[in-house]
Amino acid sequence: MGGLQKKKYERGSVTNYITRNKARKKLRLSLPDFRRLCILKGIYPHEPKHKKKVNKGSTAPRTFYLIKDIRFLLHEPIVGKFRDYKVFVRKLKKAYGKTEWSAVERLRENKPTYKLDHIIKERYPSFIDALRDIDDALCMCFLFSTFARTGKCHVQTIQLCRRLTVEWMNYVVAARALRKVFISIKGIYYQAEVMGQLITWLVPYQFSHDHPTDVDYRVMATFTELYTTLLGFINFRLYHSLNLLYPPKKLSALSASLARMVSSAEEEEAQLDQFPVEGEDMEKLEAREREQKEQEAQKKLFDGLKFFLNREVPRESLAFVIRCFGGEVSWDKSVCIGSTYEVTEETITHHIVDRPNASTQYINRYYIQPQWVYDCINAKIVLPVEDYFLGVTLPPHLSPFVEEKEGDYMPPEKVKIMALQRGEKPEQEDEEEEDEDEDEEEEEDDNDDEEEDEEEDEEESEEKNLKKMEKQRSQGKSLQVKVTPGKMKVENPERLEQEEKAEEKRLAIMMMKKKEKYLYDKIMFGKKRKIREANKLTAKRKAHDDAEKANKKKTRK
Amino acid sequence: MKKVREKTAKKRSKEEEEEEEEQIFNFKDKPAGKEEEDEDLSDSEESVFSGLEDSGSDSEEDEKESDDNDDEDDDDVTAVESKQPKQTEEEEEKEEVVGGVTEREEEEKKEDEYEHDSSDEEDIRNTVGNIPMEWYKDFPHIGYNLDGKKIFKPIRNKDELDDFLDKMENPDYWRTVHDKQTGSDIVLSDEQVELVNRLQKGQFGDVNFNEYQPSVEFFSSDVMIHPVTNRPADKRSFIPSLIEKEKVSKLVHAIKMGWIKPRRVEDDTRGRFYDLWAGEDSSILGRHKMHLPAPKIPLPGHQESYNPPPEYLFTEEELALWEQQDASDRKLPFVPVKFSSLRQVPAFSRFIHERFERCLDLYLCPRQRKMRVNVNPEDLIPKLPKPKDLQPFPTTQSLVYRGHSGLVRSISVSPSGQWLASGSDDGSVRFWEVCSSRCMKTVQVGGAVKRPVCLSTCRPHSYVASSCECGRAVHQVAWHAKGDYLASVMPDHSSHLQVLIHQLSRRRSQNPFRKNKGLVQCVSFHPVRPYFFVATQRSVRIYNLVKQEMTKKLQANSKWISSMAVHPGGDHVICGSYDCRLSWFDLDLSTKPYKMLRHHKKAVRGAAYHRSYPLFASASDDGSVIVCHGTVYNDLMQNPLIVPVKVLRGHVITHDLGVLDVTFHPTQPWVFSSGADATIRLFT
């Protein structure tokens, strides 16, 4: 017998993977350090296709990393820094134990530090890559900037996060990049379009946090370390792209515009060059142009409007949002620095209040609730203020992130807003009609099933008749012979055709292969579920509306 | 130097105290006078030890005395302990210092010393020595005198009563003290009582002593012209220190070896941002081919709004369901809530949790690229010829044959197509006219016992063979195409006599098989050639009757075959099975089914080919008969085309049984079906 005996688990996919513990040993790092390294370098475990093979026959749950990734980590200079830090901590402990204070001081002065610049550059080779991945960074920084000095993280980190987030918001204001805002129960979602990338972030409400105990803050702090570096570089680049100075000075109030490196007067909107195009491209181009126009209009949504924020409304969010769309905003001096005008200013057009009623009212301004601002932004038009006056029940606040496809449920409020966007006057009847249309569509979808049932029903009824007769006969009764005038069966040719088609389809489905049938069933199941959910929502809405109507009638009486 | 001074002072004070203690109780002989002398002594000694007496004159001594005392006090308070082994050193020093004093003084000192030498002063009243007196507790004597005679304790015959009386009567009782040394009672004098009082109050024993005298600060911030002490500088202050040298050399070595680094220059580039992507190059992109960016967090829907439309709020049932469900099963990770104004929205309690979970997902979650099928479901449906183009086939139910009272197990049509025979569980065989659905004749075959009846019609002769109880239940009968032979099946696990072939002309039967090859379900003759099909539980065997051997074994890929039909051409077989399948075998192609048809929802009970039209039908327990178009091409290269054309319903499911048998009209595209509802139906 020639050749060496082949050993198991020495070739094939096993060679591509390494378990976490082995990787850790190879890197000679402790588990927390390994974790930190993975977080910073963006290394994540991989799920092998055949886990048992990779696990050398064992089915024990293990996490696997790509061996290439781990080899890549071996050359990371930061690993050396981690080891240095370990040594540093050991020395420091020793010095403390010996109460050698001079040694402690000397060690502290030489505390090893590291920079993450090269890692950022490596993980995001181009600026757009970095922008694409900034969502989590923003969420995290906004969260950390709301932390109090509770010892959960370094105060410097909190301050840095605060600085970076304010810088970011100022950039968004300066670039007028904000697109959508959504007040959810978790916090406020913002979506901005920066250099063609949609960036969404979530800002918690301004309350002190009830810090949970089952959260590892070290992990969060490591992420924040990376994210602050990333955000800093991005901010720098973004500011420079707008010819703004970086780092900017005095930002916290969000009321003043940023200092420019070049005077802003020279900036002009570059006109899109026209290229000769044909056919479909033409349509696309037109659509794009339309969209762009719409966007331009949205950017100037609040131009010329002057807002005043009462003290109970979320100042930072509203100031940010209003300034993003060209409005002027101010607040009471005692609330925060940076207020630009007083309540008594005559030119104020909108006063945002979040109370049942305002104590002193000026005649020439609208007193509205804060939701109006957000709804206007999402609808991209200035909505009528009547629904948002003080003490009025607010219309529902809809998520701007939901894009309804055909067959999806659309709340009537959205239909209303879409009508407004098209420039139609809101009319009650229209809405109802539309609702009905929707219902019909849904019914059609269900038709297939119903038809079957109907057929069966017909047959069954005939059967019943026959059975009756049979019974009577068996009981020895003479049949009631009776001639009844026959009924013309009206055959609807359309319906017949439809039925025929449906049957054809059913028969064809019977001939499907097993695999395809499975897939088809799955898809159809999903579709049906969707329809069911939409129907459920419609029914719920209808029940709610009916109940409300009844209530209204009662109160009228 | 100061330290030394402290220690000597300490020692002195200690000695003094001891002395005092002794003196307090030694007053019997010389109570008052001694104290003064003690004072003198201490003064002179102190002045010597402190090393401050530069002048050497007596007149100044008095002034300094108070200072020294002050010092002493301070030291007493501050010094923690006196060290015995150092005493000798100190004494040496003492001597040195003493050496510097004038002779006259020395003489004076000597006199004093001898007079009041307390070190070897012994109590002459009792020569027992300085021992614990308890040792003599039980003896009448208290020690020995120089002559070795016992010194007896003074006679004390005071009992409790005497003591009490003494206490009551003696005015000096309170100042009477018992002296253990001599065993006698001593009455304290007024001075002694005063002294005791003062000491108890923590005051100085000497009444005249002023503890608040102004102190002279030697060690002040002012630079003095003269040194505080006259002591010449040590030699070691002129010689470089070896210890220091050693320490410095250690540091130098450490610096040389790089163990101690110079103070780091504050790196201010950290935390400073610059244009990181100034020179963008794609050279580092190599790794990123495999890189999967983490999916973004899904965007919120209407239900997450602080003021959602009312239809998105939970009803009570939904809320109850949500609370019951496990966190991982929930569709929404939160309960939608409606707030009437933005002011009332509270902080989201799980905000940090959710962010943390996202972090965990980012670095712990294995990533895998998953292809999502994006298929239009319509494209999955196979394109088949329209049933309309494949006509004729039965489409509607036209006649129902009623009369049986049990399940109709089997039906058969005469070759002319005019008559229909049916066998039922009620033990009768009925003959019907096909066109009028009239029962022409009823034959009771099973007698009173109701047994399943099977029958089959011979093609050329219109004979009807029906089977019933003859020892064992006959399951099926099948005619040969020529009408001379008849095969019957009596399923039995153990016997090899399951299939019998009967010859009509000779009126004899034969058993073709020597061995039992499994439970036989049904048999059939080949329509043209001398082949015989035997379907057992899982396979179909084809025997060549001339050669008397098995030619083929078809694997049905089903659990239990129920029925079988052979195509009139003889090259194709369909097999129905109890696990809802109908398998089509192409005998030229393979022993595996060419097509498995899973049309039925329940067990398939019957299958039949049409004799002339390209049709076949299957009957099932779900109450339906499915008619399929099955064209068989003469071209061997072309596979048969199978298209289901019609689902015929009509039979009522009774006792979970639907349609039991199906057969085609010999000439018309009509199909008969018999069911468990005791009816036979004709579909045209």
pLDDT digit string (tens) for B167-200? 888 888 888 888 877 777 888 999 999 999 999 9
What confidence tens digit (pLDDT) does each residue in B14-60 have? 444 444 444 444 444 444 444 444 444 434 344 334 444 344 444 44
Show Cβ contacts of residue A534 under 8 Å, excluding neighbours closer than 6 positions. Answer: A407, A408, A409, A442
The pLDDT, as a whole number, for residue B180 is: 77
Q: What is the pTM of this model?
A: 0.65
Query: Tokens 């008594």 correspond to what residue?
Result: A344
Query: Tokens 């930190």 correspond to what residue?
Result: A36
Identity of the residue in B260, B270, B644 whose CB atom sits nearest the CB atom of A511: B644
Which A-chain residues 462-481 have CB contacts (< 8 A) with chain B? 463, 466, 470
Decide if pLDDT at A227 tops 90.
yes
A510 Cβ under 8 Å from any chain B Cβ: yes
Q: Which amino acid makes up residue A348?
A: I
Decide if pLDDT at B292 tops 60.
yes
Q: Does A44 contact B366 at a Cβ distance shorter than 8 Å?
A: yes
Mean pLDDT of A432-440: 43
Tokens in use for A359?
A: 């104590």
A232 to chain B, closest Cα gap in Å = 6
Identity of the residue in B284, B302, B597 whose CB atom sits nearest the CB atom of A411: B302
Which B-chain residues 362-381 have CB contacts (< 8 A) with chain A? 362-368, 373, 375, 377, 380-381
Lowest-confidence segment of A76-80, B66-70, B273-277, B506-510 by average pLDDT: B66-70
Helices and strands in chain A, H and E counts = 18, 9
Mean pLDDT of A409-435: 70
Decide if pLDDT at B465 tops 50.
yes
The secondary structure of residue A46, as a DSSP letter, is B
Rounded-to-integer distance, Cα A204 and Cα B348, Å: 8
Confirm if B263 and A110 have CB atoms less than 8 A apart. Answer: yes
Q: Does A109 contact B263 at a Cβ distance shorter than 8 Å?
A: yes
**Percentage of chain A exceeding pLDDT 90:** 32
A506 vs B contacts (CB less than 8 Å): 647
In a mutational test of the A interface, the residue from B284, B359, B596 whose CB has the highest number of chain A CBs within 10 Å is B359
B286 Cβ under 8 Å from any chain A Cβ: no
Each as own residue / partner, the long-range contacts of residues B346-349 (CB below 8 Å, 24 or more positions apart, any chain) are: B346/A205, B346/A207, B347/A204, B347/A205, B347/A207, B347/A208, B347/A209, B347/A210, B348/A185, B348/A186, B348/A187, B348/A204, B348/A205, B349/A210
By CB atoms closer than 10 A (0-12, 13-18, 19+), residue B448 is exposed
Lowest-confidence segment of A347-361, A367-381, A437-451 by average pLDDT: A437-451
Identity of the residue in A44, A113, A232 whose CB atom sits nearest the CB atom of B267: A113
A242: nearest Cα among A339, A168, A314: A168
| Cα A463-A466-A469 angle, rounded to 5 deg | 150
Decide if pLDDT at B505 tops 70.
yes
Q: Which amino acid makes up residue A455?
A: E
Confirm if B348 and A203 have CB atoms less than 8 A apart. Answer: no
Reduced to 3 states (helix: H, G, I; strand: E, B; else coil), residue B93 is helix
Residue B384: closest CA among chain A residues belongs to which residue?
A: A508
Decide if pLDDT at A402 tops 60.
yes
A298 to chain B, closest Cα gap in Å = 22
| Highest-confidence segment of A141-145, B65-69, B430-434 | A141-145
B280 Cβ under 8 Å from any chain A Cβ: yes
Q: What is the ipTM of this complex?
A: 0.83
Tokens in use for A360?
A: 């002193």
Alpha-carbon distances, residue B583 vs B81, B519, B593 (angstroms): 111, 19, 6
What confidence tens digit (pLDDT) does each residue in A517-541 have? 899 999 999 999 999 999 999 999 9
| Highest-confidence segment of A1-10, B62-71, B517-526 | B517-526
